[in-house]
Amino acid sequence: MDNDAERQLREQLLAAFGKADFPVEDQMRLVPALPDGPLTTFEAGDRSFTAMELAAEIGDYQSFPYADAESLVDDVVDAMQAEGML
């Protein structure tokens, strides 16, 4: 993924997850922050992913609890890269 697409994805993830009530203990605590719940869509270049897809694909990479949105987003992007999703 090019840097512009990664930057855009990070911005989308931060905008959505930044509204969560931190610290968050598990994935379910993030759902109320998402504008369309688990069906919230994130775009990365020519690909898109729902929050539900991300949770299913990269959940094992996450290290809850998260104290802030930035560390959560860092782990999401790293996991997506490790899984070849980006």
- pLDDT, residue 85, reads 87
Global confidence as pTM: 0.90
- pLDDT, residue 1, reads 52
DSSP conformation letters of 20-84:
S-SSB-SGGGTGGGSTTGGG-EEEETTEEEEHHHHHHHHGGG--S-BSSHHHHHHHHHHHHHHTT
Instruction: State which fold the 3-82 domain adopts.
Output: Recoverin; domain 1 (1.10.238)
**In the predicted structure, residue 4 carries a pLDDT above the cut 90:** no
Find the mean pLDDT for residues 11-15.
96
DSSP conformation class of 19: T
